């Protein structure tokens, strides 16, 4: 009986799981790979799809704290997903109002966001809470200083 229970649990977990495959990038590699790199404070989250669904589309607005790459606006708007069963977007904890993040973003064309190039992020990026990003910030400061020379 216990063997059947374990086997059933494995089948259930396999059917509801998902996997994103990517190479771990260093901060320097991520800086080169992504279109926008900035720190910002979440100032707005608007659900385009039903918030109760899995990985709904969301529009996240940031108040810019610091920019290292791309764009010139003091307010940044990202068209992405809440990352539940998707490899794209932000986790629930990242999109809380007032949350400060280091964001590595990509500009993408997508049928989900017609008539626009959407700025998004993904599980493979180094997007993270700003308080946990000290190593990345050190690298970004070095890259910024070198680009001014």
The string of DSSP codes covering 76-97 is: EEEEEEB-SS-SBSB-TGGGST
Distance CA 134, CA 82 (A): 25
With a cut of 70, say whether residue 36 has pLDDT above it.
Answer: yes
Is 65 a domain residue? Answer: yes
Q: Positive or negative CA dihedral for 107, 63, 73, 25?
A: negative
Is 3 a domain residue? Answer: no
Is 73 a domain residue? Answer: yes
Is 8 a domain residue? Answer: no
Distance CA 142, CA 114 (A): 37
pLDDT per residue as tens digits for the range 10-23: 333 333 445 678 88
Q: What is the mean pLDDT of residues 105-116?
A: 80
Structurally, the chain folds into a number of domains equal to 1
Please give the residue range of the domain that contains residue 125: 24-147
pTM, whole model, 2 decimals? 0.81
Which one is predicted more confidently, 55 or 98?
A: 98
pLDDT per residue as tens digits for the range 43-54: 999 999 999 988
pLDDT of residue 147: 62
With a cut of 70, say whether residue 3 has pLDDT above it.
Answer: no
With a cut of 80, say whether residue 141 has pLDDT above it.
Answer: yes
Predicted confidence band at 116 (pLDDT cuts at 50, 70, 90)? confident
Is 13 a domain residue? Answer: no
Predicted confidence band at 128 (pLDDT cuts at 50, 70, 90)? very high
């Amino acid at each position: 009986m216990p063997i059947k229970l374990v086997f059933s649990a494995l089948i259930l977990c396999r059917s509801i799981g998902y996997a994103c495959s990517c190479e771990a990038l260093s901060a320097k590699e991520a800086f080169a790979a992504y279109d926008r790199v900035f720190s910002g404070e979440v100032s707005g989250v608007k659900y385009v799809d039903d918030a109760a669904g899995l990985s709904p589309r969301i529009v996240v607005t940031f108040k810019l704290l610091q920019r290292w790459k791309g764009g010139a606006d003091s307010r940044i708007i990202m068209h992405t997903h809440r990352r539940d069963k998707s490899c794209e977007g932000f986790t629930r904890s990242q999109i809380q109002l007032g949350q400060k993040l280091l964001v590595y973003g990509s500009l993408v064309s997508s049928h989900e966001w017609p008539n626009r190039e959407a700025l998004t992020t993904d599980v493979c990026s180094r997007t993270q809470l700003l308080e946990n990003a000290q190593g990345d910030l050190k690298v970004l400061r070095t890259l910024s200083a070198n680009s001014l020379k």
